[in-house]
Amino acid sequence: MIEQAAINESKPAVHPITMTLKVTLQALALPEENGGFSVIIPALPGCYSDADTIEEAQANAVEAAEGWLASVHDSNKAAAIRNATEPLPGEAQP
C-alpha cells in the first residue's frame, strides 16, 4: 500500500489558468408594443436584457451573456477546485 504522503507528493498542486473563449450564442430580440426590444438568450437560462434599438439590443445581449457566464463561473469555481483536489478513485483517503 502506498503511503498517503507519497500520494500527496506525487500529485501536483492545482494551478488556475485563465482562458479567453470566443463563443457564438443565439439571442432573440422581441419587439415591444411601446417600442424597443426585449432580448432573451435561450442557451443561458434567465439571461435577458432590453434596449431601445436593435443595435443596442445586440450590444446589451453580449454584456448580459458575459455577466451570466462570469456569475456561473464564480459560483461553481470553489466546487470545481475542491473536486479537482479530491483523491482519484482507488487513491487512499487522507
pLDDT at 61: 97
Each domain of the chain, given as residue ranges in start order, spans 4-12+21-85
Q: Exposed/middle/buried for 42, CB within 10 Å: 0-12, 13-18, 19+?
A: exposed
Rounded CA separation 93/46 (Å): 39
pLDDT at 7: 46
Torsion angles phi and psi, residue 28, rounded to 5? -115, 120
pLDDT at 15: 77
pLDDT at 51: 97
Q: Kindly give the pairing relationship between strand 28-31 and strand 37-40.
A: antiparallel
pLDDT at 73: 79
Across the 94 residues of the chain, what is the mean pLDDT of every consecutive 10-residue run?
A: 50 74 93 97 96 97 94 77 66 61
Give the predicted TM-score (pTM) of the model. 0.65
Class of CATH domain 4-12+21-85: alpha beta
Q: Find how far residue 48's CA is from the centre of its chain.
A: 16
